[in-house]
Every structure is written in structure tokens, then in C-alpha cells.
Amino acid sequence: MRSQSDGYINAIGTAVPDFYASQQHAAEFMADLLQFDERERRRLMTLYRYTRIEKRHTVMADYTRPPGEFTFYPNTPGMEPFPTVSQRMGVYRQETVPLALKAIYNCFSSYPDFDPQTITHLITVSCTGLYAPGPDIEIIEALGLPTTTQRLAINFMGCYGAFNGLKSANAIVRAEPEAKVLVVCVELCTIHFQKKTDTDYLLSNALFADGSAAVLVESKPRPDQSFRLRSFYCDLLPEGKDAMAWHVSDFGFEMTLTAEVPNHIQRGIGQLMQRLLTQCDLTLSDIGQYALHPGGRRILEVIEAELGITANDDRYAYNVLRQYGNMSSATVLFVLKAIWEDLHSGAAEVDTNRPNILSCAFGPGLTLEAMVLEALTQESVLSSTYATSESSNALSLAL
């Protein structure tokens, strides 16, 4: 029997900026800017093709324009003087809330019976910018929520930030069953473009993109469809802490992402998953869907090899990677929404013997975050409600 204090994802919304560039165009943009010779250009084109990304969205129109028509970067050789952190944070402050609101409204549109004015808590997640008073307050004002709405900001955690947002929301609804928690991830990775030729920076520039996702968490499932937040697990691989890092420099936030990241994940993912599944009394044979964070093609491949799953099992991650790239913390929620939509439309069915979804993401530390969700359909929600009602009646009689 399910506990009444479990948290449930009852709606998911996503949004991307209007501007986007194909991966081919992005590679040409980089090669021209860095003034690569023909050999270096070919190597860069190969790297960009290897990512399996087709296009990425951005709040920066400059990435879609030819040199000489930029509005943010200088129209000078080498884009000098290169934009400072202050200038980039100006873009973040201007663009982050409008993008977040697009995701929030998309979330609400998928749950027409929900009244947004009943939201009690707002959790914002971001690692690509900050200011105060921040996006949390602006979102509350834009939605017309009470000034007493409780707020929590989760910052600078990278790609696994959404897991901490969901864990916090789950803890809140377990402690306060009447709470309704809105979790909003918004990342503007492309404002931190670096024009360096180090392999780490070339790889980062080839992967990251902008996007936002919003999730509504409540203490009870909605009547037709929900994801039950079943269990969470976190671990560190200290030997990999230098393989992935996120630092503030004079000219934006600099991402260090070395080729060793997949190797560290490969060594730690098996144990991580085993411990998570043990918490739930599950095995991999009980998992029906996978929602892996598409940090990059190689990361997905090593996880598949270690877990003994196929690329088809991991198709939702590959589809998000192909269409959007890596949007840091928001990305895994795009993957979950894709699963949600397929289950809702009937394009995929919940295996009643394997209703569980396994999800994980990675970030600086090297941090490994994972969770198990349970996909609930209208039939399983009704069954759960009936079982809980019967149990309550039995308890009343016993007392």
C-alpha cells in the first residue's frame, strides 16, 4: 500500500527560447571565431557531429547571425572587448524569468483542473546566473501569488540540480500534506560562451544550450496520471572532482568538462544504482522506463553498458539530446516530460509489472544523483485510492 505522505509529480512543463542554431551552424560559428585552419576546422566539425545533437536553443540571437550583425558580442576581430560577467548577468536578468514563465504556463496547461493560486511553495533551480531580489520573487509577482508563498533557491549545482529541487518538494509535501510545490529549473548556458581552444571548452561549447522546465509536486496523485516520487539516492566520486567544475571568471562562468567524466561515471554508476534500487526493494528487472540525464553521448553509452540496457531503452534521453542539447538542470525534466506525454497519449504503456522509472544525473563533485519514480495511470490511481480508503476504514474499526 502506498503512503499518503508520498510526493507526486502531477504536471510537467518545458520551454526553450525562440532562437536556435543547427549543430552544423554552431560548429561553423566556432571555427570562424577561433580562426581555425582547415585541419582544426575538420576536427571541430567531427566533434560537433559526434555529439548527436541536431540543434540547440539560445536566448542569444548572435549565434544565429553572421559576424557584423551581432547585438551582444562586439562586431570586432575576436569579439574584443569580450563581454564581462556583469554584461552576461544583465542578459540573465532580462531573459530568465520570461523563459521560466513559458515553462510554468506549459506546466499549468497540462493540468487544467489545478488552480495556480493554491501554490504554497516555489523552488527555483539554476546554475547559470543569480541576482537579488531574484527570479523567485519576480515569478511570484508575475503569477500573482500571495506574498506569503514560501521560497527556496537552489543554485550552482549544475546538471543534477533538478534532483535537489524534487527532493526538497517531496520533503515539503510529506511534512505538509496540503502544500503544493512548484519547482522551476531555468538555465541560460549559452550566455557563458568561452572563446578558448582548450579541448574542455570546445566540448562544453558543443553541448550546452538554454531551456526551462517546471514541475508541480503534491501529496496526492491527480485522478488521471502521476509520477510517484518513490526514492532518491546521492553519492560522490571524489576522485573525479577535477573532471567537472563550474567557476566564475572575469568573462562569464567557465565549465570544465574533461574526457574523463564518462570514465568516472562508468566506475561509479553500477554501485549507485544498486544502492538506490536496494532502498526500494527493486532490481533492474523492475524498471520499465529510463530517464537518464543526457549530459553527452559518451555518458549515455557508458551507463547503458554498465546497466546492461540498450540505446532503445534510453531513447528518451537521446531524443532530448538530439533536439535540445544539454540544458543543465532542466534537461532531465525534458526527458521525464517526454515519457509522461507518451504514456498520456498511449504511444507508450505502463507495464503493470514494471511501472518504475529510473533517473539519474551528474555534476561537479563528481556528484551522482538518482531517483526512482512510479508511473501511475488512471487505473492505478483509483486502485491506490481504494486501497488507502479500505485501510483507513479497517484502522477506524480497530480503534
The reply to whether 14 and 132 lie within a common domain is: yes
Are residue 209 and residue 230 in the same domain, yes or no? Answer: no
For residue range 189-204, list pLDDT tens digits in order: 999 998 888 888 898 8
pLDDT tens, residue by residue, 27-49: 999 998 888 999 999 999 999 99
Regarding whether 379 and 275 lie in a shared domain, the answer is yes
Same domain, 175 and 293: no
Clarify whether residues 192 and 47 are in a common domain: yes
Query: In this predicted model, what pLDDT tens digit does every residue of 223-250 receive, in sequence order?
Result: 999 999 999 999 998 888 888 888 899 9
Domain tally, the chain: 2
> Do residues 280 and 137 share a domain?
no
Other residues' Cβ atoms within 10 Å of the Cβ of residue 22: 14
pLDDT in tens, 58-89: 999 999 998 889 999 999 988 899 999 999 99
Same domain, 359 and 282: yes
Give the domain-ending residue among 162, 193, 218: 218
Provide the domain limits for residue 260.
226-383
Q: Are residues 187 and 327 in the same domain?
A: no
Give domain status of residue 391, yes or no.
no
pLDDT score, position 395? 34
| 378: its cell numbers | 488512471
Residue 396 in any domain: the answer is no
Indicate if 239 and 211 belong to the same structural domain.
no
**Domain end among 200, 218, 236:** 218
CA-CA distance, 177 to 8, in Å (whole number)? 11
pLDDT exceeds 50 at position 4: no
Structure confidence at residue 25 (pLDDT): 95
Q: Which pTM does this prediction carry?
A: 0.94
Q: Is residue 117 in a domain?
A: yes
Assess if residue 313 is contained within a domain: yes
Euclidean distance between CA atoms 300 and 280, whole angstroms: 24
Do 54 and 166 lie in one domain? The reply is: yes
Average pLDDT, the chain: 91
C-alpha cell of residue 113 = 483542473
Query: CA–CA distance from 349 to each of 224, 338, 352 (Å)?
Result: 14, 13, 9
Here the CATH number for the domain that contains residue 69 is 3.40.47.10
What pLDDT, in 10s, does the model give residues 127-152? 999 999 999 999 999 999 999 999 99
Same domain, 86 and 197: yes
> Would 28 be classed as within a structural domain?
yes
Cell of 29: 560559428
Instruction: Report if residue 265 sits inside a domain.
Output: yes
Please indicate, yes or no, whether residues 240 and 211 belong to a single structural domain of this protein. Answer: no
3-state secondary structure the chain: CCCCCCEEEEEEEEECCCEEEEHHHHHHHHHHHCCCCHHHHHHHHHHHHHCCCCEEEECCHHHHCCCCCCCCCCCCHHHCCCCCHHHHHHHHHHHHHHHHHHHHHHHHHCCCCCCHHHCCEEEEEECCCCCCCCHHHHHHHHHCCCCCCEEEEEECCHHHHHHHHHHHHHHHHHHCCCCEEEEEEEEEHHHHCCCCCCHHHHHHHHHECEEEEEEEEECCCCCCCEEEEEEEEEEECHHHCCCEEEEEECCEEEEEECCCHHHHHHHHHHHHHHHHHHHCCCCHHHEEEEEECCCCHHHHHHHHHHHCCCCCCCHHHHHHHHHHCECHHHHHHHHHHHHHHHHHHCCCCCECCECEEEEEEEECCCEEEEEEEEEECHHHHHHHHHHHHHHHHHHHHHC
In a domain, 395, yes or no: no
